[in-house]
Structure 1
Amino acid sequence: MTTNRQLCIGLSLSATWMKGVGWRHPDSNVEKMDSIDYYIDLAKMAEKAKLDFLFKADYLYVSPQMLGDSANFGSPDPTMMFAAIARETERIGLVTTVSTTFNPPYVVARQLQSLHWLSNGRAGWNIVTSIEGAENFGDSPMPSPQERYAKAKEFTDVVHKLWDSFPNEAIVIDRESGVFSDTNKVSTINHAGEFFSVRGPLTLPAHKSGSIPIFQAGASDIGRNFASSVADAIFAAMPDLESGVELRNDLRRRAKEHGRNPDAIKVLPGLYFFLGETREEAHELHKAAHAHLSVERRHASLQSVLGLDLSSFALDHRVTADMLPDPNQPVRSRTHAELLRRYITNYQPTVEEVLARPEVVGSAHWVSVGTVEDVLNDIMERYEAGAIDGFIALPGGSEQSMELFFEKLMPQLVDRGLFRSEYAGSTLSAHLGI
C-alpha cells in the first residue's frame, strides 16, 4: 500500500441520523427536513471539512419504510436539490442519482450537463438500475437484472456520446470573424441500439472541466462487471472487512480485464457510524436507531432480502447453509442476499444474530459504533487491509454523532495524513484525481 494514498470521503444527505426514535427528540431538528436550507447548511459543513462530495440516493416509489414511524417524507429529486446547493457552495462535488431503467438518456444527459454547468464542474452521476418502481412507469413488470444492466450499459454509452457530441471547444466566440460556435465540431450521434434510438447532438456544450465522473452501486456479479467497466467510483455494500477486501480485489481485477487501470476505480462503502463521547453512549444510540424494528418486521425484512422464513425457529437456533433457499429465486436485492448467504455459510449464526445483521435492519452498510477513536481505528483497519479507498459518511443516532464526525474524527484523519487539509482543485474530477 502506498503511503501517499488518501481517503476519498463523501457525505450522504439522507437523514440517517434520524432513523429509529431519534427524530422524536425535542432537539432533533426533524421539522427542518422539508426545507432546502437544512441541506444547504449540511453541504456547507461538509465543504468546510473539505469532503470530496455530497451524495443523495433516490427512490422512484414509496416503500412502506418511508411512511408511519420513520422520519421520512419520500424522495425529492436529488438533481434539483443539488442545483440549489450548487449556488450556495464552491468546491464540494455533487453526486446525484439517476436511474437508467425509467428515464430517457437524452433527458438525463442534458440534466447532468446542466448541473455540471451550474456547479462549475462539480457534478457526478450515480448510476442505478433500480430494484422497484416499475408500476409507476407503465404496466410492464420489473425487468430482470440481466435486462436492466444491458439497458444501463447502452444508456451510459448513449449519454457519453451525447456529452461528446457538443464539445466545449465548439464555442469559439470570435468577435472579429463573427463566429460564435464551430458547427463542424458539433455532430449527431445517430445511435440505434437494442433499447434506444437517439439522433443528437445535445442541446448544450460540455463544461470546460471535462467529463462528468461516474459512480455506480451494485455488488452482484452482473453489477460488478458493469461497475468495473464504466465507474470512476463504486458505492459498495460490505458489512465486514473480509467482504470488503474480496470485493475491492475483484473489482480491480475486472477493471484490468476491461483494459482499465485498477487504480482508476475507488471503492467507497457506506459507513453508518454511531459516535458518542463514550462507548456506552454510542451503543445506546445504535440500539435506539433500531428499537422500532420489531422481531416481526425483521423477519419480514429477512424474507424480502433472502427469501428465508425463520419465524418458526427460536432466537437461539443456529442457521446453517442447508437452510438457505434456492439462490435463483427472486429477491429484492441480489447483492444483499449474497452477503447474507455468505455470512450464514461461514458462521452458522443464531436466528437472533441474523435478524440483527445490517442487510436485515438496514442496507448492508458497514456499521461502526463507539468513540471517535474506535471508529477511527475501524477506518484505519479497513484502509490498511486494502478493503476501501474511502467511504460515504452516514451519520447515525443523532446530529451529535455527525458533529463528532466533523469536529473530532475528520481532523484526526487529516493529522494522520489520510485526508486533505485544503482542496487542491475546484472540480469533482480534481478531488477524485481523474
Structure 2
Amino acid sequence: MTRSGKLCIGLSLSITWLNGEGWRRPDSDVENIHRAEFYIDIARRAEAAKLDFLFRPDSLFLDASRLSSAPGFSSLDPSLLLTAIAQETQRIGLVSTASTSFYPPYVVARQIQSLNWLSRGRAGWNVVTSMDGSDNFSDQPMLSSAERYARAREFTDVVQALWASYPDEALVLDRANGVYADAERVRPIHHRGRHFSVEGPLTVPTYPSAKIPLFQAGASEWGRDFAARVAHGVFAAAPDIAAGVDLRADLRSRADAHGRDPNDLRVLPGLSLFLGDTESEARDLYAQTHAGQNLQRKQAYVLENLGLDVGPLPADMSITPDMLSKLNRPVRSRTHADLLRRLIERETPTVSELLERPEVSGSAHWLFVGTPQDAAREIARWFEAGAGDGFIALPGGSARSMELLFENLMPHLIEDGLFDADYRGGNFAEHLGI
C-alpha cells in the first residue's frame, strides 16, 4: 500500500462509545443497536468525513453474565449488516469479519465475494482465529494458538483459490451466439489439505478488477507471522508509542523475510478516543464512562494473565518483574498477557496505577482523552515515530466523541496533510494502493 504516505483510518462499528456507562446516557440510542438504520447513519457520516473503511468485528459467543450491565458482544452478523450499509454508501471500504476456526472456507469465500459485488468492489475480510465459542459449533476442545493459525493459513489459501476459480474474465455474455461464459476458465481447485477438502469452483465470479484486501489482528508469535504473510492491514493493540514502534518494525521485518514488500502492510493500532470540546469535558466523559468499573473484575484479569493476586497488596506497592511467575497454563489471550508483562518490566507501576491502565481497565488500545486539536497532534507524533501507519478509531464515552471525530478531528488531519481529502481509484483496493 502506498496511498501517498498518508494515514490509513478505519472506524470500528463495535459501538465502543456505548461501553462502560456510555449506553446509559439519554442520547446513546442504545435501543436501536440491532437496527440497520443506526449503522447506516454512522456509515454515511464516516464516508462524508472520507474515512478509508468501516470495520465490523464479530464474536461467536455471548457472555450472558455481562448483559446485566452492558450490551457486551451482542451483535448483528457482519456480512449482513455491511450488505445493508453497502446499498446506502458509495466509496467507503467495508471490512467484514469471518472466523477461520469454525466456518467452512467455501461459505466465507462466497459471503465476502458476494459482499464485494453488492458493494461494487468495496469488501475487505478481517481474518480471525476465534478464541472463544467452540462449544457453539461442536464438542471438540479449542485448538491451541499454533494450531489455530496453521488452520487459518490453509483456510485463507483455500478462500483465495476459490476466488480465483471463477474469474470475471470467464463471463462472455455473448447474446448473439448464446455463450454466457467460457466454461474452460472456471475450474475446480481440488484442494486436499490437513484441515480442509474443497473441490470448487465458487458459485460467484470475482468482481472485476477489485482485489479483496485482507486484515488480521493477531499479535502473538503465530499471529504476527500469519499477518506478515497474508495481511494488507494489521489491527494492533499498542497502548504506547514504544509498543507500536516495536510491533510495526517486527511485522515489516517478517513481511520482508516472507518475500513481501513491507510497504504493502499497514499496521493500524486501535485508538480509543474520548473527545470533548474542552480537555476538562473529555476528562469528565472518561471518568463518567469508567465510574462503574468492577474492581474485582480488574483484579481477576491481572490474576488470569499474570498469575499475580493483587487483591491483598497495598495500593501504593510497586509491582516488579520478579513478582511475576512464569505461567505454565494457557491464557485466553497471550497478546494481552504479554502486554501486561511488558508494562510491568518497563514501568514497575503501583497496584493502583496498574488497575487504571488501559491494558487492564480497557482493551490494551492506544488511549487519548482531550480535544480533537490535541488528538491530531498526538496522532502526528505516533505517525512520525513509526508507531503505526494509521489507526482504527474507537470513539468512547458517548456519540459526541464520534461526532467530534467526523466533524473536527478528520478535517484537522486533512489540513495538516496527514490524510487524503478524497477517495482514490474505483474500488477499495485501488484506494488503498493495493
Aligned position for 1:222: 222
Structure 1 residues 396 and 313, CA gap change in structure 2 (3 angstroms)? same
Root-mean-square deviation over aligned CA pairs:
1.5
Name whichever of 222-231 and 305-314 sits farther off: 305-314
Per the alignment, residue 168 of structure 1 pairs with 168
Structure 1 runs not aligned, ≥5 long: none
Aligned-pair distance for 1:303?
2.6
Distance in 2 separating the partners of 1:378 and 1:406: 17
> What is the CA deviation profile of residues 87-117 of structure 1, one whole-angstrom value per residue up to 9, with x for unaligned ones?
1111111001111000100111011111111
Question: Residue deviations 1:360-395, cap 9 Å, x none?
Answer: 122111101111122111101100001111111110
1:21 and 2:21 aligned:
yes
Code of the residue aligned with 1:272 in structure 2: it is S
**C-alpha deviations, 1:329-369, integer Å up to 9, x for none?**
21111111111101101111111111112221221111011
Residue 328 of structure 1 and its aligned partner are, at CA, apart by 4.5
3-state SS of paired residue (2:33): helix
Instruction: Classify the secondary structure of the residue corresponding to 1:187.
Output: coil
The 1-side partners of 2:307 and 2:181 are apart by 58
Indicate the residue corresponding to 2:315 in structure 1.
315
CA contact (8 A) 1:306 1:331 kept: no
Report how many aligned residue pairs link the two structures.
433
Q: Kindly tell me: are residues 280 and 66 of structure 1, through their superposed partners in 2, closer, same or farther at Cα, counting changes over 3 Å? A: same
State the 1:194 CA deviation. Answer: 0.4
1:323 partner amino acid? M
1:157 equivalent in alignment to 2:157: yes
Task: Give the distance between the partners of 2:94 and 2:317, measured in 1 at CA.
Answer: 46
CA distance in 2, matches of 1:3, 1:168: 26
Please say if 1:245 is aligned against 2:241. Answer: no
In structure 1, C-alpha distance between the alignment counterparts of 2:52 and 2:226, rounded to whole Å: 24
1:376 has 2:408 as partner: no
Instruction: Confirm whether residue 337 of structure 1 aligns to residue 325 of structure 2.
Output: no
**Partner AA of 1:110 in structure 2:** R
Counterpart for residue 135 of structure 1: 135
Aligned counterpart, 2:39: 39
CA–CA distance in structure 1, aligned partners of residues 89 and 139 of structure 2: 41
* AA aligned opposite 2:313: F
Q: Does structure 2 conserve the Cα–Cα contact (< 8 Å) formed by 1:155 and 1:196?
A: yes
SS for the counterpart of 1:203 is coil
| Structure 2: gaps (5+ residues) | none
TM-score, length basis structure 1: 0.97
Aligned partner of residue 5 in structure 2, secondary structure: coil
- In structure 2, the partner of 1:203 is 203
CA distance in 1, matches of 2:387, 2:327: 26
SS, match of residue 34 in structure 1: coil
**d(CA) in 1 for partners of 2:133 and 2:112?**
22
Say if 1:328 and 1:241 are closer, same or farther in 2 by CA, change over 3 A.
farther
Contact 2:34–2:76 (CA under 8 A) maintained in structure 1: no
Any conservation in 2 of the 1:58–1:97 contact (CA below 8 Å)? yes
Show the counterpart of 2:5: 5
Relative to 1, partners in 2 of residues 1:120 and 1:4: Cα closer, same or farther, differing over 3 Å? closer
TM-score by length of 2: 0.97
Alignment partners' CA distance in 1, 2:285 and 2:138:
42
> Which whole-Å CA distance do the structure 1 matches of 2:32 and 2:64 have between them?
22
Describe how 1:178-193 pairs up with structure 2 within 5 A: 178-193=178-193
CA 1:66–1:264 in 2, change beyond 3 Å: closer, same or farther?
Answer: farther
Q: Per-residue displacement from partner, 1:130-151 (whole Å, max 9, x unpaired)?
A: 1111111111111100110000
Asked if structure 1 preserves the Cα contact closer than 8 Å seen for 2:50 and 2:422, the reply is: yes
